[in-house]
Amino acid sequence: MRARPIQEWLEDMGPKLWWALGEDGEWLGEAPYVGSPLDCGQTVECHTHAARPAARFDVGGWPGYHTHFTDLPERPETPAQTARRQKRENGAFARDMGLRSW
């Protein structure tokens, strides 16, 4: 997997996994951000007993310091898909070992 620099990202690419490269040239030790540089986040109000909100904060959205991106992984199997695949594989193994003749 190759991490591509932010300059290569285009709006029509959609959401990606975003990684932050530190000044030392090593990846920061945090989980990647999932989304795009266009993510706006949500405004949250902090209320006290006063009539007006005490403060408003933007939370979520693009953090702004990620430098590279990679593609999102494929979706995993559902539990039902995993069970069917394991049943097929176990049946094939039993057949190959001579434990089943069908």
Answer yes or no: are the C-beta atoms of 67 and 25 closer than 8 Å.
Answer: no
- Note the pTM of the prediction, 2 decimals: 0.64
Question: pLDDT by residue for the chain (102 residues), tens digit each?
Answer: 899 999 999 999 999 999 999 999 999 999 999 999 988 877 777 777 766 666 777 677 888 899 999 999 999 999 999 999 999 998 888 888 887 665
- Which pLDDT value is given to residue 52? 67
- Which pLDDT value is given to residue 53? 64
Task: Find tokens 């069917």 and name the residue.
Answer: 84
DSSP assignment of 26-91: SB-SSPPEEE-TT---EEEEE--SSSS-SEEEEESS--S---EEEPPPPPPPPHHHHHHHHHHHHH
